Amino acid sequence: MPPRPIDHPTVQIFEEIRRIDRGVRAAVAKHLPPGVSFAQFEVLSYLDRRGDGLTPAEIARAIQAPKSGLTNTLQRLEEAGLVRVEPCGEDGRRKRVWLTDAGREVHSATVAGTRPRMEHLREAFTIDEFRAALPFLKALRAWFDEKGWD
């Protein structure tokens, strides 16, 4: 019997990535305050990690979101008081985004809520297992970035 397409390793890899992504999103969503979406949390998380003053285009590229969708996300975050969007000092056509204290609190509370699950994950796998998976996953992502598969 010939192998079925679902048995091919590339199909299996992407199925595993999809299931992991879905599980992570669901776990995080359980700890988000009402009215805050996972997409909004991604923006808060990126700003928390990378710092304030980024442009919407930089954020969109980093989280692989369409710029139009990110504009809507930033508007909602700004309305909720979680980010501040201001014109860029050097170029008035551009905007820069800052995380507010309320945005930092939402991010910190969400991360704290997921901490028990993260600790279970770290107990289940060694740091070496995570390190061993990284080269392939980074190469796969880089290939997609290079080919413009978004």
Q: What is the CATH number of the domain that holds 104?
A: 1.10.10.10
pLDDT given for residue 110 in this prediction = 97
121 assigned to some structural domain:
no
Rg of the chain taking only CA atoms, in angstroms:
18
Q: What is the mean pLDDT of the chain?
A: 92
71 assigned to some structural domain:
yes
One-letter identity of residue 39:
A
What share of the chain has pLDDT > 90, as a percent?
A: 75
This prediction has a pTM of 0.84
Task: Please write the tens of the pLDDT for every residue from 57-71.
Answer: 999 999 988 888 899
Domain range for 70 is 5-112
Sign of CA dihedral 55, 61, 62, 63: positive
Q: Is the pLDDT of residue 82 over 80?
A: yes
Q: Is the pLDDT of residue 1 over 70?
A: no
Range of lowest pLDDT (26-35, 97-106, 140-149)? 140-149
Token pair, residue 72, equals: 């809507």
134 assigned to some structural domain:
no
CA angle 35, 86, 31 (to 5 degrees): 20
pLDDT given for residue 144 in this prediction = 86
Instruction: With beta carbons less than 8 A apart as the criterion, state whether 99 and 83 touch.
Output: yes
pLDDT given for residue 115 in this prediction = 95
70 assigned to some structural domain:
yes
24 assigned to some structural domain:
yes
Residues counted in the chain: 150
129 assigned to some structural domain:
no
Q: Is the pLDDT of residue 2 over 90?
A: no
Count of domains for the chain: 1
Q: What is the mean pLDDT of residues 86-110?
A: 90
pLDDT given for residue 99 in this prediction = 97
137 assigned to some structural domain:
no
